[in-house]
Structure 1
Amino acid sequence: MTLDSHVTAQEPKDTGHVPGNVLVPMGALLLGLLLAALDQTIVSTALPTIVSDLGGLEHLSWVVTAYLLASTAATPLWGKLGDQYGRKKLFQIAIVIFLIGSALCGMAQNMGELIGFRALQGLGGGGLIVLSMAIVGDLVPPRERGRYQGLFGAVFGTTSVLGPLLGGLFTEHIGWRWVFYINLPIGVVALVVIATALRIPRKSAQHVIDYLGTFLIAAVATCLVLVASLGGTTWAWGSAQIIGLSVLGVVIAVLFVAVERGAAEPVLPLKLFRIRTFTLAAVISFIVGFAMFGAMTYLPTFLQVVHGISPTMSGVHMLPMVVGMLLSSTGSGQIVSRTGRWKVFPIAGTGVTALGLLLLHQLDQNSSTAEMSTYFFVFGFGLGLVMQVLVLIVQNAVSYEDLGVATSGATFFRSIGASFGVAIFGTIFASRLGEQLAAAFRGVSLPAGLSASTLQADPRGIAALPPALRPAALHAFSVSITDVFLYAAPVALLGFVLAWFLKEDRLRGSVTAPDVTETLATNPVQRSSYDEVCRALSVLGTREGQREIYRKIAARAGYDLLPAASWLLLRMRKYGSVEPGVLAGRCVVPLSVILDAERQVEERRLAVREGLDLSLTDQGREVADRLARAREESLAELLGDWWGPDRPTDLDRLVKELTDQMCGSQREQPQGGAAAAGVS
């Protein structure tokens, strides 16, 4: 049985919403999030075709990198601007920017245009992700927030599977430009629904926005990625351009440190790096993003070019990797939340990821589907073991005031790692491919219009080669891509070594593994410390089961009461009285259970009948007060050392709010007499 699990959103006086109205704007928010999350993965299977159409294989990685960099850098800015100027308006602006970027990407005529428009699209995408999750907090009360944020997290899980499949389908059947055009009708629907149905209170929170810090950290990341992607290909490593970019990156990094030391609300507080666990987790997060997105970008190219698999089927072939990630993330999260032991997972995860990269290096043009699927699964399984746990251990290592920024910081480094990884993989691939093709066709007479350089620019030229020469071209592409994984393996091994230095501190009760699918996101979604604790406590509440909660708080208060009797007493304390018959018809608790509870509280003289209503006696009010205190103490215990004499007032408010909501919603109350009047 689940007691009072059917709880609605906040009352109209608080949010401007009746419960049924929450579902429509929630659907629009999910659509907005779907757009941004999908565009992180949908392009991967379309990339080989895009490159063949627009040219510029050496810049393939930038189609992904531009989006990731822009969305990562913009995320903290969107979050704070939403706090200051209202999230609804900012969310609409983010949708418009994203749709403009999508339309322009679809119309791009060369690789340079596409990369620039992808950056614009990423700018809007970062806003869609962070604001959609923040608006959930405006629409629903803390007790329900974990469930709704789980839905939003599920969107990320779904897009990780659907992205490559849809990208392949559109590319194969209606053209790669529809990978971007498909966003337009969905975005317009979301825009219209948000404009007409979303009503959220205007909560203005004053922030000193760290514009300079945000710009500088984005500039440092851009310099690093430019060096990684252009060095050794467009410009020699010792060229003035690469050296200049490297020096510029170092100078900006020093300037960033100076600015953050004096910032009122730094985008990335430097004091976090004094916490060893945070620093190690940040580096390991960087490595995970490096490996994950580097592989996801180049595996479709391997499948389509080397094995001649269609874009759609290349998405299908990548499913074992996603399945491995989901299985290991789910399992590790549950084990950690139940046992409190977590250190084994980052160690095992980085080790298995390194093994997966070495296995991927073994692939060639003769590898079977079963072999490829197995290696993809191993690689994904390793990533899943470590991704979710890194967020959890960072949350556990910092003080309450830094909880929100530390959580987004861990994911921020994974996003930067993803950008850097895709760029590095791209450089290695382009460099190796040029060497391999030149060696394969040195002294060989190729058909008119074909050369090593034209094959490098457009893989479709392989089909025009004489049958005797095709294996050499396929081998060149195969070796160039799989060598990328060999070079990435030492980076994963570095993560494996660093993971051993993590200190396994005892987990706070409120630190639970976030929803598995939330950790698939690369964007550093910035929620406040309050929101993070809120998510954890609400998830704990739903996991325990309401019957067990009421049994525990009765025992804590020193009473031998039925769970439903405790529930009735708390309802009467909050609403003044209850009418058991009407209550049974308006909530999910069976009538027989309510009648047993009613009989017990009457026999013990904790409540008396007044007509059809049941009201507390003086003794009953004392018992209900103790039950309420017991629930508050139980929640406070979960906060561990965050719940001290100098605890933040918002934590105090959260515990009281969650305690109050245990009684249920006013919607389930009769609409007349004492019941309607007695709202505490």
Structure 2
Amino acid sequence: MTTTAPEQTRPALAHRQILLLMGGLMTGMLLAALDQTIVGTALPTIVGELGGLEHYSWVVTAYLLASTASTPLYGKISDLYGRRPVLLFAISTFLVGSLLAGLSQDMTQLIVTRAVQGVGAGGLMTLAFTVVSDVLPPRDRPRYQGLFGAVFGISSVAGPLVGGYFAENDWRWIFYINVPLAVFALYVCSRVLRLVPHQRRDHRIDYLGAALMVAAVSAVLLALSWGGNEYAWGSPTIVGLLVVGAVLTVLFLVVESRAEEPILPPRLFKRATFTLANTATFVLGFAMFGSIIYVPLYLQIVRGATPTSSGLLMLPMMGGVIVTSIVAGRLISRLGRYKWFTVAGTLIMGAGLLLFTTLQVDTPLWQAFIYMTTIGVGLGLAIQPLVLAVQNALDLRDMGAGTSAVTFFRSLGGSVGVAALGAVMTNRLTEQMRGNGMAGVSINAPAEIRKLPAQMLAAVEHIFVNALHPVFLSAAIVALVGTLLTVALPNKPLQGAAPDTPAQTPTAEEMESKVAAF
């Protein structure tokens, strides 16, 4: 049976302080989420000024690699040393990386500083959820964590939109804009987190486990990023990286089973809720990231939208995520149950992906908006409850490591999904292009495709749309697997009393003393 730390170990923050803290955490998370999408739109402009076309993909890969590999480290280290210093380090690292990225004079400098940004982003993405779990009992968390889902929705649209705008003006502001936002997050989190005590305990850092984990994740992500792009999937480089990743993963598991303070405690996987929720998170990340990246491409190639306007056309999906995340968070908090929200979310998301398999060149835009909204609603329902499920099954001492595992598996699932579904897309597209005598046409430059003669353009549009169908069908099947996993989740109630009940509300004296301290 799972034991939990007593509720009185959490600080009784006033509502104003919680809102301020949420503002800082959401700002930090927005920075990290934005930088996953904002650079892609501006990359051609950046390469045009800095040169180094052969290093094009590394600008994205360096960020992804650093953020994913560092995520589990932040969770465990914050469990040992406290959230405040570790979160402030993450924000500061991201701030410095952003400033230096904006000052880059060549592609090598940009790649290195993007990696520095990624190291900071790994902490921003996971520690936001962890800090909320320190401050609030499980029953109260959904009302606030639902706002994090809204942040992801905003970043998915605002990233390409803002990136396109700055690409047309001054691309360096893609990175400079992070500086004042990071300073705000740094100030707020520093002030409010002073009120969240950390109980120190004897510990030993699992340096060997950390090194093996970073090396294993790096090898796998490099293989997934390069496979089918830089190198063929069957090339010695990709096969070698996958073999190295597998061997290092086995060594990591052996080391973790013997470590006193493991980075990712194996005992957590003995809990059904923890294992099922993280597996479902991996599957959700696979289906979500692996398929949704093709929606803006459809809007640009088939509908003739610019990179900036394609971001605006994604607003229905963003709206679905934002509204549903907030509403679902309040309902979960009131009902004290989360399971059927995530079941419904994965099912609705799967339905939305299935609808995209009917997409045609002449599909009305309003119809595509319905498909986007359906996926957005599904994501809004599914993402947050899986985090809650994991946190509700953990002791407070494991909250950082456990919560970071959710972020890690979602990012890893996204990386695998992008690679796997990208391979499906590439194979189908290559086959049809060759069959129609257009092997030299690339979809990587939508603006150039729009300049093709009308007859050839029409053929490319039909080929591209047909190649999309197996991608969305595969993603829908994967989402269905996620539904089955969430159905198997234990339907445990969230710990704590219902929100706004006397048992859950701090006394006036407690609130007054906390506000005075702040």
Give the alignment's TM-score, normalised by structure 2: 0.78
Structure 2 match to 1:205: 200
Q: Is the 8 A contact 2:41 2:163 kept in 1?
A: no
Report whether the alignment pairs 1:662 with 2:511.
no
Offset of residue 21 of structure 1? 9.6
Mark the CA change 1:351 to 1:98 in structure 2 (over 3 Å): closer, same or farther.
Answer: same
Q: Is the 8 A contact 1:73 1:214 kept in 2?
A: no
* Counterparts of 1:151 and 1:50, CA distance in 2: 37
* Counterparts of 2:199 and 2:257, CA distance in 1: 26
Aligned AA for 2:175? Answer: F
Aligned with 2:471 (options 484, 490, 513): 484
Q: Is the 8 A contact 1:69 1:419 kept in 2?
A: no
Aligned with 2:460 (options 448, 473, 480): 473
Q: Is the 8 A contact 1:346 1:386 kept in 2?
A: yes
* Counterparts of 2:95 and 2:290, CA distance in 1: 26
Structure 2 match to 1:394: 390
Q: Is the 8 A contact 1:33 1:132 kept in 2?
A: yes
**Deviating more after overlay: 115-124 vs 99-108:** 99-108
> What is the correspondence of 1:342-353 to structure 2 with a 5 Å cutoff?
343-353=339-349
Structure 2 match to 1:183: 178
Q: Is the 8 A contact 1:168 1:310 kept in 2?
A: no
Offset of residue 492 of structure 1? 2.0
Offset of residue 342 of structure 1? 5.1
> What is the correspondence of 1:516-535 to structure 2 with a 5 Å cutoff?
none
Q: Looking at both structures, which has the greater relative contact order when contacts are Cα pairs under 8 Å and sequence separation is at least 6?
A: 2
Aligned with 1:544 (options 500, 503, 510): 500
Mark the CA change 1:411 to 1:45 in structure 2 (over 3 Å): closer, same or farther.
Answer: same
Aligned AA for 2:457? Answer: R
| Structure 2: gaps of 5 or more residues | 1-9, 514-518
Structure 1 match to 2:271: 275
Mark the CA change 1:179 to 1:425 in structure 2 (over 3 Å): closer, same or farther.
Answer: farther
| Structure 1: gaps of 5 or more residues | 1-8, 443-450, 511-536, 550-630, 636-657, 669-680
Q: Helix, strand or coil for the counterpart of 1:452?
A: coil
Cα offsets for 1:231-283 (capped at 9, x unmatched): 34433333322322222122111101101101112222222323333322222
Report whether the alignment pairs 1:265 with 2:265.
no
Mark the CA change 1:480 to 1:106 in structure 2 (over 3 Å): closer, same or farther.
Answer: farther
Structure 2 match to 1:295: 291
Q: Is the 8 A contact 2:26 2:151 kept in 1?
A: no
Q: Is the 8 A contact 1:361 1:483 kept in 2?
A: yes
Aligned AA for 2:147? Answer: A
Mark the CA change 1:417 to 1:55 in structure 2 (over 3 Å): closer, same or farther.
Answer: farther
Mark the CA change 1:477 to 1:104 in structure 2 (over 3 Å): closer, same or farther.
Answer: farther
Structure 1 match to 2:440: 452
Aligned with 2:480 (options 465, 489, 493): 493
Aligned AA for 1:167? Answer: P
Q: Quote the RMSD (CA, aligned, Å).
A: 4.4
**Deviating more after overlay: 280-289 vs 300-309:** 300-309
Q: Is the 8 A contact 1:45 1:314 kept in 2?
A: no
Mark the CA change 1:493 to 1:89 in structure 2 (over 3 Å): closer, same or farther.
Answer: closer
Structure 1 match to 2:118: 122
* Counterparts of 1:354 and 1:19, CA distance in 2: 37
* Counterparts of 1:25 and 1:276, CA distance in 2: 32
* Counterparts of 2:352 and 2:192, CA distance in 1: 47
Aligned with 2:368 (options 362, 367, 372): 372
Cα offsets for 1:324-347 (capped at 9, x unmatched): 334444555555555566554444
* Counterparts of 2:406 and 2:443, CA distance in 1: 37
* Counterparts of 2:106 and 2:298, CA distance in 1: 23
Structure 1 match to 2:231: 235
Q: Helix, strand or coil for the counterpart of 1:370?
A: helix
Q: Is the 8 A contact 1:55 1:457 kept in 2?
A: no
Q: Is the 8 A contact 1:25 1:193 kept in 2?
A: yes
Structure 1 match to 2:408: 412
* Counterparts of 1:84 and 1:503, CA distance in 2: 29
Mark the CA change 1:294 to 1:21 in structure 2 (over 3 Å): closer, same or farther.
Answer: closer
Q: Helix, strand or coil for the counterpart of 1:416?
A: helix
Q: Is the 8 A contact 1:77 1:209 kept in 2?
A: no
* Counterparts of 2:355 and 2:374, CA distance in 1: 9
* Counterparts of 2:274 and 2:86, CA distance in 1: 31
Q: Is the 8 A contact 2:319 2:376 kept in 1?
A: yes
Report whether the alignment pairs 1:164 with 2:157.
yes
Offset of residue 462 of structure 1? 1.8
Mark the CA change 1:48 to 1:378 in structure 2 (over 3 Å): closer, same or farther.
Answer: farther
Aligned AA for 1:299? Answer: V
Structure 2 match to 1:589: none
Aligned AA for 2:500? Answer: E
* Counterparts of 2:159 and 2:246, CA distance in 1: 40
Structure 1 match to 2:359: 363
* Counterparts of 1:478 and 1:50, CA distance in 2: 29
* Counterparts of 1:66 and 1:322, CA distance in 2: 27
Aligned with 2:212 (options 213, 216, 224): 216
Q: Is the 8 A contact 2:143 2:329 kept in 1?
A: no
Cα offsets for 1:68-105 (capped at 9, x unmatched): 44223323433554566676655454334323433454
Offset of residue 486 of structure 1? 2.7
Q: Is the 8 A contact 2:210 2:263 kept in 1?
A: yes
Identity across the alignment (%) = 42
Aligned AA for 2:208? Answer: L
> What is the correspondence of 1:282-361 to structure 2 with a 5 Å cutoff?
282-330=278-326, 332-334=328-330, 336-339=332-335, 343-361=339-357
Q: Larger Cα Rg: Structure 1 or Structure 2?
A: 1
Q: Helix, strand or coil for the counterpart of 2:263?
A: coil
* Counterparts of 1:397 and 1:377, CA distance in 2: 32
Aligned with 1:174 (options 165, 169, 177): 169
Q: Helix, strand or coil for the counterpart of 1:290?
A: helix
* Counterparts of 1:403 and 1:196, CA distance in 2: 22
Number of residue pairs aligned between Structure 1 and Structure 2: 501
Aligned with 1:39 (options 35, 58, 61): 35
Q: Is the 8 A contact 2:316 2:373 kept in 1?
A: yes
* Counterparts of 1:27 and 1:339, CA distance in 2: 25
Mark the CA change 1:232 to 1:332 in structure 2 (over 3 Å): closer, same or farther.
Answer: same
Offset of residue 119 of structure 1? 3.0
Give the alignment's TM-score, normalised by structure 1: 0.62
* Counterparts of 1:268 and 1:124, CA distance in 2: 19
Mark the CA change 1:311 to 1:509 in structure 2 (over 3 Å): closer, same or farther.
Answer: closer
* Counterparts of 2:326 and 2:185, CA distance in 1: 30
